[in-house]
Structure 1
Amino acid sequence: MLLKAFIVAIALSVVCRWALGRWPWDYLRGETTRRAALRRARGLLGVEAGASRDDVIAAHRRLTALVHPDRGGTNAAMQEATAARDLLLAELPLPGRDEGS
């Protein structure tokens, strides 16, 4: 009986991996590193998950106006703002391209 349960568990794990692209135990780990980085970047720039390219760029400009070293900010804060912008822009489709192309 225990052997049957073990075989069924393995079969279900393989089906989960095949159908969903992840092993079942991957769902127990929680948020992925990339997803967490995207969430932090959106929070830093103050944009929503569906923000457009223009929204991200405008939010970056607003933030850099506050944290720029020439205005009393730090290089680290400026680098963090730029990294957040770059990460969010990398997730968006290239301008002038259709989503289906």
Structure 2
Amino acid sequence: MAKLIFLGLILYGGWWLLRKSAVRPSMPEAEARAILGVDSNADADAIRAAHRRLVSAVHPDRGGSAELARRINVARDVLLKR
């Protein structure tokens, strides 16, 4: 039983380290604004509305591009500081 607990702790520690070192995609704020089509004084609601409008048009489940949907999601995250 102690071996099983030890193995669980080792696996959890490895997962935790990998999660912390994961590279998060990023882009300049100007590029993010250009992708979403919002200006520099757009508030969070305008950013969310632009994201929702764009991602609904290019979502992979509707025959769109997964890469384009990913870039739109990254742009939203950059502008909302997630």
Which TM-score tier does this pair reach, normalised by the shorter chain? Answer: 0.5 to 0.7
Deviation (angstroms), 1:49: 0.4
Answer 1 or 2: higher relative contact order, Cα 8 Å, separation at least 6.
2
Which residue of structure 1 lines up, in the alignment, with residue 23 of structure 2? Answer: none
Q: Partner of 1:47 in structure 2? A: 38
TM-score by length of structure 1 reads 0.52
Q: Which stretches in structure 1 are left out of the alignment for 5+ residues?
A: 1-33, 92-101
CA shift for structure 1 position 86 = 0.2
> Distance in 2 between the 1:52 and 1:37 partners?
18
Q: How many residues align?
A: 57
Deviation of 1:47 after TM superposition, in Å, equals 0.3
Q: Identity, % of aligned pairs? A: 44
Q: Which runs of 5+ in 2 are unaligned?
A: 1-25
Larger-gyration structure (1/2): 1
- Of residues 64, 73, 76 in structure 2, which corresponds to 1:82? 73
Q: TM-score normalized by structure 2? A: 0.64
From 48, 69, 72, the counterpart of 2:63: 72
Whichever residue aligns with residue 63 of structure 2, its letter is: G
